[in-house]
Amino acid sequence: QVQLVESGGGSVQAGGSLRLSCVAFGYTYSINVVGWFRLVPGKEREGVATLWRFGGATYYSDSVKGRFTISRDSANDTVYLQMNSLKPEDTAMYYCAATYRRPSPGLNPAADFGYWGQGTQVTVSS
Question: According to the model, what pLDDT value does residue 74 have?
Answer: 87
For 47-100, the pLDDT digits (tens) are 999 999 888 999 999 999 999 999 999 888 999 999 999 999 999 999 999 999
pLDDT class of 32 with cuts at 50, 70, 90: very high
- How far is it, in rounded angstroms, from Cα 121 to Cα 39? 10
pLDDT average, residue stretch 96-110: 93
Q: Which residues contact 34 (CB under 8 A, 6 or more apart)?
A: 22, 24, 50, 51, 53, 70, 72, 79, 96, 97, 98
**Whether residue 29 has pLDDT greater than 90:** no
> For the chain, what percent of residues have pLDDT higher than 70?
100
First to last CA, the chain: 40
How much is the CA Rg of the chain, to the nearest whole Å? Answer: 13
| Closest-CA residue to 64 (of 42, 38, 41, 44) | 38
